[in-house]
């Protein structure tokens, strides 16, 4: 009988700390599952420096947030790198952690490349001057409560011999 009293005393002595812990966990979960700014500001435009659409040196994109978890985007980019000149046209999707304004993302995009010249030599139209590129990647994306969007990451073209990670940095505004 004495051990039962000791057990009760230990349980009741710890009960407030257990309830405080459980309350903290529930509050944290409810904070993380609130809607992010991606639900408030759905449509936007952003400029990218290196990599969006992949590959490009400078790009302009339009994006639409499909709820709190994904964004579809499409854009056009310039490949004026001195060695290779051309344009890239692409689109894709990024997937986020629901409820997080500053979130890691995983994404994929398909880009159509139209090359004009290589090493200053103009290319004739045909198979050798255009190609499609599928890329997968990830990074971080931050969309603020007032619509500012900052993103950084890297994409890897798949099924391309000697492919390397292509960095991606963008700045934009969602309305």
| 151 and 74 assigned to the same domain | yes
d(C-alpha 21, C-alpha 1), whole Å: 30
Q: Which residue has the higher pLDDT, 51 or 140?
A: 140
Residue 2: pLDDT band with limits 50, 70, 90: low
| 41 and 27 assigned to the same domain | no
| CATH number of the domain where residue 88 is located | 2.40.160.20
What domain range is 105 assigned to?
Answer: 37-174
pLDDT at residue 131 in the model: 82
User: Can you give the pTM of this predicted structure?
Assistant: 0.74
To the nearest 5 percent, what fractions of the chain are helix, strand and coil? 20, 50, 25
| 42 and 26 assigned to the same domain | no
pLDDT in tens, 47-70: 999 888 988 899 999 999 999 999
CB-CB contact of 114 with 138 (8 Å): no
| 73 and 142 assigned to the same domain | yes
């Amino acid at each position: 009988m004495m051990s039962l009293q000791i057990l009760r005393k230990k349980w009741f002595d710890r009960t407030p700390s257990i309830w405080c812990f459980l309350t903290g966990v529930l509050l944290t979960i409810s904070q993380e599952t609130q809607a992010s700014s991606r639900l408030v500001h759905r449509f936007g435009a952003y400029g990218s420096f290196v990599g969006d659409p992949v590959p490009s040196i400078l790009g302009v994109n339009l994006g639409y947030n499909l709820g709190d978890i994904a964004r579809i985007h499409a854009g056009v980019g310039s490949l004026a790198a001195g060695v290779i000149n051309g344009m890239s046209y692409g689109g894709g999707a990024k997937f986020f952690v629901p409820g997080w304004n500053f979130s890691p993302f995983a994404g994929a995009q398909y880009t159509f490349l139209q090359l004009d010249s290589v090493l200053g030599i103009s290319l004739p139209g045909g198979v050798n001057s255009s190609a499609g590129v599928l890329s997968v990647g990830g990074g971080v994306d931050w969309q603020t409560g007032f619509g500012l969007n900052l993103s950084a990451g890297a994409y890897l073209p798949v099924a391309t011999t000697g492919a390397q990670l292509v960095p991606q940095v963008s700045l934009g505004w969602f309305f």
